[in-house]
Amino acid sequence: MTSPLEQKKIKLTGPSMVTANRTWDGVVIYRTAQQGWSANLADAAVVRTSDEARALLAESIADDVGAIGAYIAPVDVKDGGKIAPGNLREHIRSEGLTIDLLPVPA
Amino acid sequence: MYAYDELDRTLINERVSEFRDQVKRRLSGELTEDEFKMLRLQNGVYLQLHAYMFRVAIPYGTLSSKQLRALARIARRYDRGYGHFTTRQNIQFNWIKLAELPDALADLAEVGIHAMQTSGNNMRNVTSDQWAGVAPGEVEDPRIWSEILRQHTTLHPEFSFLPRKFKIAITASEHDRAAIKIHDIGLRLLKNADGETGFEVLVGGGLGRTPFIGKTIKPFVHGRDILSYVEAILRVYNQYGRRDNIYKARIKILVHELGIEKFSREVEEEWKLMGDVGLTLDHSVVEEVRSRFSYPAYEKLPHMPDELKQAAHDPLFERWRKNSVFPHKVQGYSIVTLSLKPVGGPPGDATADQMDAVADLADKYSFGEIRVGHEQNLCLPHVAKRDLPLLWKALDRIGLATPNVNLVTDIIACPGLDYCSLANARSIPIAQELTRRFANHDTADLIGRLHINISGCINACGHHHVGHIGILGVEKNGEEFYQITIGGRADEGAQMGTLIGPAIPYAEVADVIEDIVEAYLALRDRPEELFVDTVKRLGVEPFKERVYATR
Ligand code: HEM
Ligand code: SF4
């Protein structure tokens, strides 16, 4: 994955969303169509043109208090409209680590 | 151990309250992220994929049991119950909340630990040999000099705003365990013909996008002049340092572009020109710092106690002892490495419970002291040999007696795409798969010393360039691929590995490494010939052939 932090031009390769980390705790969040954030990918607003993406990113960045490091990332839209992460990086951000950790007692 | 003075403590506490205020202002919106970013980086706080990451310094890798318990508490109270020991004698916590960071810093401050010098374009945590003060044959304890440099450079304005980050490592042994040749400045303690202490000074080492092995700039600088000489290097660097291009501003690039001769002439001139700027170290200053390191009251113990003779009948104990126990400068004592590389585990991780247990064992068996090395393992530096059998049993119970130190499963790996926002590809699952492939410790023992180093991108946090086998994650059309190098090394004979061919997809990496190891076993001319030596003797061709012939 080329890091999206190096994202300069906005050029969509398919359906996309805006994602960031929540400022106070760092949790992964997604920009919703209601101009808010959700920790659930299912709530993400999906954009399909670069103009839409630019607008969504702009309003996301404008919320400097709520979120940090907003960027555009790909999503897969499945049959029935369910959305899934569009690449491995986003998969890991949304589903968590792909590795076994040492056993930590709860 | 080292006793911090009052000034240090006041400084650390001031930084905590300052940061508490900054976080408050960030969360209320008074500070923008742009304004805040520098401030959080100065306190060791990065943003990763899932959360903030908090990096805490362990100066020259020395921890007291009390400090280790404090780290365990941080893991438990503010994180998910574990921490990750890094290649630069730091520990990282991966799931910390910004809102709770000031509390975490305050908890650490109580035991004299902090996160200064763990990030940003400043002088970083000065690293050293994890066996400092206990290694047989050491010139003298390098931590005294690490500490002098640390005091001089911490928060010194001139070192806080460098063109890029700046790293120094110090060793005092023939065998370099501090990887000084891949640091911006590497220092090797030695004595001159008159028996005076000084340093061979190396400059311009580093990995990343443009890797270089450090070169000797001066074969001997007297100990009393080391601060002024380092200062002269930094001044020349600061004058030239290309702040305009982030990839080029490291000192290694400058040294490469000017050539070591010209660079060293300029440093020499600057050094003369500087004259006496009050940096000459008085004998008394050095002795004052030395006096703040305390050494255990070792007993007079036999070289071969009965307990050890008896335990030698247990083959499992013997295997661990031969692998993880090393000679100590004091008779009757040993240095014990605690492998943080269990089969199937993430390299360098330790749970809070393990940290607490190690702290208890350190109190019981190692005068309350623990060390952290750049290979991402821990170490108990002063274990009486008679205690080894009991210590082994206790370590085994908490999963820290894997007898794989320096073997193929003692893998250095960066966090990679599972945690890191800069990653191209994952590192940890590759390491985990490899530890499963080579899970048989007898086979690993047969293979002998073999360091596998893995980085998830060109920043080289996992030191892939200098792994005997190096694995670098790259991206091809959105898929994870890995470049394999062989023949690198990080010790006194440091050199970069050589690429063996085109990058390999994720699913094939473990197979390829197995092929390389099998090729080595077939090619080595005797069992004692190490992997790196076989590569040196034969070059990469035979390995390349083996890997790509069938692919
Ligand atoms: C996950 C968060 C991390 C981030 C964002 C990060 C970022 C970076 C970057 C950008 C560099 C290259 C800077 C340069 O060359 O000027 C670097 C270098 C380095 N990092 Fe990390 N790193 C992370 C974690 C780690 C960890 C966990 C380790 C140890 C296991 C580590 C050890 C190192 C080392 C040793 C270097 C220096 C390599 C050299 O000599 O050039 N880093 N890191
Ligand atoms: S090498 Fe790259 S992927 Fe690995 S931790 Fe460093 S920056 Fe992240």
> CA B189 to CA B195: how far, in whole Å?
12
Q: Which residue of A has its CA nearest to B96?
A: A25
Put simply, whether B478 touches A (Cβ < 8 Å) is: yes
A contact test, residue of B23, B84, B417 with most A CBs within 10 A: B417
**Could you give phi then psi for residue B225, rounded to 5 degrees?**
-100, 5
**Which structural domains are found in chain B, ordered by start?**
6-109 (3.90.480.20), 134-291 (3.30.413.10), 306-397 (3.90.480.20), 412-548 (3.30.413.10)
Contact B115, B55 (CB under 8 A): yes
Does the residue A101 lie in any domain?
no
Residue B54 is which amino acid? F
Q: What tokens does B412 get?
A: 């250095």
If one residue of B47, B430, B459, B471 were mutated to test the ligand 2 pocket, choosing by the most ligand atoms within 8 A of its CB, it would be B459
Separation CA B292–CA B4 (nearest Å): 8
Return the number of CB contacts < 8 Å for A and B: 106
Residues of A in contact with B29 (CB under 8 A): 64-65
At residue A81, the pLDDT reads: 84
The string of pLDDT tens digits covering residues B130-139 is 899 999 989 9
pLDDT at residue B321 in the model: 98
Which residues of chain A lie closer than 8 angstroms to B353, CB-CB? 104-105
- Residue A106, domain member (yes or no): no
Place of tokens 């050094």: B271
Interface predicted TM-score of the whole assembly (ipTM), two decimals: 0.89
Tokens of A31: 């920009």
Whether A75 contacts A17, CB under 8 Å = yes
Full domain range(s) for residue A53: 4-94
pLDDT value at residue B541: 96
Amino acid B216: pLDDT: 94
From A97, which residue of chain B is nearest by alpha-carbon distance? B418
Any domain includes A99: no
Which ranges of chain B have pLDDT less than 70? 1-7, 116-125, 154-164, 241-248
| Domain membership flag for residue A21 | yes
Do B153 and B166 contact (CB within 8 A), yes or no? Answer: no
- CB contacts, 8 Å: B351 with chain A: 102-104
Domain assignment present for A105: no
The number of domains in chain A is 1
Handedness of CA B153, B156, B159, B165 (dihedral sign): positive
Query: What is the edge-to-edge ordering of all strands in the sheet holding B90-96?
Result: B45-47, B52-57, B90-96, B82-85, B349-351
- CA B443 to CA B430: how far, in whole Å? 19
Test the A interface: residue of B353, B421, B506 with most A CBs within 10 Å: B421
Give the mean pLDDT of A57-63: 94
In this structure, the number of other CB atoms found within 10 A of the CB of residue B227 comes to 21
- Scanning every residue of chain A, which has its alpha carbon at the shortest distance from the alpha carbon of B351? A104
Substitution site in B459, B464, B466 for ligand 1 pocket (most atoms within 8 Å of beta carbon): B459
Q: What three-state secondary structure class fits B197?
A: strand
Give the max Cα distance, chain B.
Answer: 67
- The answer to whether B320 touches B392, Cβ cutoff 8 Å, is yes
- Please write the tens of the pLDDT for every residue from B207-218: 888 899 999 999
SS3 B142: helix
The SS3 call for residue B81 is: coil
Question: Is residue A54 in a domain?
Answer: yes
Ligand 2: which of B84, B455, B464 to mutate, judged by most atoms within 8 Å of the beta carbon?
B455
Q: How far is the CA of B462 from the centre of ligand 1 (A)?
A: 8
Residue tagged 């064992």 (tokens): B361
In a domain, A100, yes or no: no
The yes-or-no verdict on residue A6 having pLDDT over 60 is no
Q: Flag if A102 and B352 touch (Cβ within 8 Å).
A: no
B512 within 8 A of B549, measured Cβ to Cβ: no
From CA B95, how far away is CA A25, in angstroms rounded? 9
Structure tokens at B325: 């126990």
pLDDT at A1: 46
pTM over 0.95: no
Pocket, ligand 1, Cβ cutoff 6 A: B 46, 48, 53, 84, 86-88, 92, 164-165, 182, 206-208, 250, 414-415, 419-420, 422, 459-461
Q: Looking at residue B119, what is its pLDDT?
A: 54
- Residue A49 resides in a domain: yes
User: Under DSSP, is residue B458 helix (H, G, I), strand (E, B) or coil?
Assistant: coil
